[in-house]
Amino acid sequence: MAVIALAGCSGAPGVTTTGLALLLAWPLKTGRRMILAECDPDGGAAAHGLLQGTLGDRYGLRNLSVAARTGEFSDAFWRQLIDLSHTDGQRESPRERLLLPGITDPAHAASLRPVWTILAEMFRGIDTMSGHDVLIDLGRRGAYGPSGVLAEQADATVVVARNTLRGLHAAQGPVRALHERLGDVSVLMINEGPYPAGEVRRVLQVPVTATLPYAPDEARVLSDGTEAPRRFTSTALMKAARTTSQVLIQRAALRRERLHPHDPRATDGETPHAR
């Protein structure tokens, strides 16, 4: 179905929080599962945010650098995933919503150079062979440099940006650079500021795929691990995340069909519009 990269820009637009909301809200058809991979070379946030530092260094992206050198990457990858299937209070089967925590120290990014290409190839294989959709959290810099292969190999790349003056100014450079390199990029707008989606599209010159509400109290549940309110899955943020997930699935399917018209993954037995 989809391998989707989420990219950010300066000013903390909320890429990781967005990724976690989408992970927990993603509609899972029978037999499908979901992975969010924190691939931000500046360091991941979920381990000391949502998970409150409970993991130590037992799990995470850093542990894959050794596996890449020893030829045990696939087995090591699956061992590094954290099960978040029940984080949002829903009754689900185990390991339906999985997180690959990112590095905790940007100094570790240098050791991951051989990992990025292997991950990019693995994500596409996971989608096909194992029935997993993949979200890639690239943070502010992960769509460029060695880790940029993850954006290049994704079915769709989306820049998370806030519709404030500062947010739009910060997004212009990254959006332009990604559009020139990938030929197709869109914006997922965090609706904090005064500018409507049409104005954001005019300024950034790319489509606004979807909009999430600016909901700091709800967002802190995901970004900082604060106590979730009752019926968290019914909050405005999570409802919008479910709608956004559907839009992203459709966008990824349409782009995949356009670029790879004979790839059976393009429609998965359906027309993209049926999603």
pLDDT at 24: 94
| Side chain identity at residue 92, one-letter code | E
β-bridge pairing 82-83 and 97-100: antiparallel
Which residues of the chain, if any, have pLDDT below 70?
Answer: 1, 86-93, 127, 262-275
φ, ψ dihedrals at 146, nearest 5°: -60, -35
From the list 132, 176, 137, 144, the residue with the least C-alpha distance to 39 is: 137
pLDDT at 171: 97
Angstrom CA distances, 53 to 2, 56, 226, 227, 255, stand at 30, 6, 13, 15, 38
pLDDT at 155: 94
How far is residue 108's CA from residue 62's CA, in Å, rounded to a whole number?
7
Kindly report, residue by residue over 62-87, the tens digit of the pLDDT.
899 888 888 889 999 999 999 998 65
Name all domains of the chain by residue range, CATH numbers in brackets: 3-264 (3.40.50.300)
25: tokens are: 């809200």
How far is residue 82's CA from residue 47's CA, in Å, rounded to a whole number?
10
**CA 257 to centroid of chain Cα atoms:** 21
Residues contacting 35, CB < 8 A, separation 6+: 81, 98, 99, 100, 126, 132, 133, 134, 135
Kindly report, residue by residue over 122-146, the tens digit of the pLDDT.
998 886 777 899 999 999 999 999 9
- Which alpha helices (DSSP H) does 71-141 contain, by range? 73-79, 113-125
How far is residue 243's CA from residue 27's CA, in Å, rounded to a whole number?
9
pLDDT at 125: 87
How far is residue 250's CA from residue 1's CA, in Å, rounded to a whole number?
9
pLDDT at 87: 56
pLDDT at 104: 87
Q: What is the pTM of this model?
A: 0.90
78: tokens are: 């699956």
pLDDT at 69: 85
pLDDT at 130: 79
**What is the residue-wise DSSP string for 218-243?**
HHHHHHT-PPPPTTGGGSHHHHHHHH
